[in-house]
Amino acid sequence: MSRSLKTGDLVLCKVGSFPPWPAVVYPQSLLRSDVYRKKKPNCIAVCFFNDPTYYWEQPNRLSRLDPHTIDEYLTRNNGHSSQSDLNEAYQRASDYTGLQDFIVERFKEEGREEDLEQAIGFAEIKSGEDPTLGKSKKDPGKRKVSGARADSESSSMSSSNKNFVSNGSLNSKKINPENLETDLSDDRVKLGKGNSKRTHKRNHASQKSIEKTNEKRTKLDRSRRVEISLLFRRRIQKNLVQRDEPPVDAEIEESHNMLNKIKQNLGNEPPFFDSEALRESKLHKLFKVIVNDSNLEQFHPVCKSALIQWKDIITELKSERLKDEQQDA
């Protein structure tokens, strides 16, 4: 029966010493290039629930996962916290609505929305297809177009000096990862001193006016954090994940510099990478992808350190997502 598996089918996949884990049989045509390059003979790709990784496995080593098995597991392990990640994976398998929704959500988590749009346009992602079918010859071209878009996006972010919006006009300060410490320091000075210079010059200014100014600058500060976090995610993702060839030395060096810059600002109070910054940028999800890629082992320590530092925020964002899903159900 396992040999007749189709894309979109739910299965249990056993990897090493881990228990069998719920996964979805994934179409090879929509795999990331770095995952597709690791394709093994006579294997099909599966994507795990509650885990950012993919795995190549022989079909006869996979077990079908039906609703009865899922319900039985959830009933038996209800309230057991020793395997919370696995329990959550089964819960997501229980909530599985189809391959289309699963893939769209996965592409969003990986920050590859443009790739999906480039690959399928407005077409529906159909399940029930042959999982052994690889990428067509047109796919690499599509990936390169998407990559070019990513290059253009990243380039335009720096060359056109993307600015922060304040009071309906453009702020003249550039968003640049290299200036992260300066940006953060400058914002703190502004936020801490408020409008002190103007206050000294205009002793007649009201306290209410000062509070409004500080409030606007607080919003500016938050916007700055989000924009810088997004820029970090885009560049690191382009350098290390969203590519058809291994990164060159310059890209590796740039990625190390950006990751070290992030690490230097992990312990700031208030946190630079707060819930809003991570919610919008999904930096933590990118870091999970990097940590699960053995080819990027040199970047694991910094990424793991950040994930540990952000664990409370990640838990908060996860709770928000589950709450939204329950409301939509």
Last residue of a domain, one of 109, 139, 170: 109
Give residue-wise pLDDT tens across range 109-149.
Answer: 887 777 777 777 667 788 899 999 988 765 443 433 334 33
Residue 73 and residue 181 in one domain: no
Residue 177 and residue 295 in one domain: yes
Last residue of a domain, one of 109, 129, 160: 109
Residue 90 and residue 7 in one domain: yes
d(CA 6, CA 25): 7
Mean pLDDT of the region 37-51: 92
Confidence check: pLDDT of 200 > 60: no
Q: Does any domain span residue 128? A: no
pTM score over 0.75: no
Total structural domains within the chain? 2
d(CA 235, CA 329): 35
Q: Distance of CA 154 to CAs 149, 176, 177, Å?
A: 8, 11, 12
Q: Does any domain span residue 129? A: no
The answer to whether 97 and 272 have CB atoms below 8 angstroms apart is no
pLDDT at 238: 86
d(CA 107, CA 190): 38
Q: Does any domain span residue 198? A: yes
Residue 72 and residue 152 in one domain: no
Long-range pairs for 300-303 at CB < 8 Å and ≥24 separation?
Answer: 302/259, 302/260, 302/262, 302/263, 303/259
| Residue ranges making up the domain that contains 70 | 2-109
With CA atoms as reference, report the closest residue to 171 among 185, 155, 186, 181: 186
Q: Does any domain span residue 96? A: yes
Residue 84 and residue 164 in one domain: no
Rg (CA), the chain: 23
Q: Does any domain span residue 152? A: yes
Q: Does any domain span residue 139? A: no
Mean pLDDT of the region 68-97: 87
With CA atoms as reference, report the closest residue to 250 among 262, 268, 242, 238: 238
d(CA 284, CA 306): 8
Token duo for residue 3: 């040999």
pLDDT at 52: 83
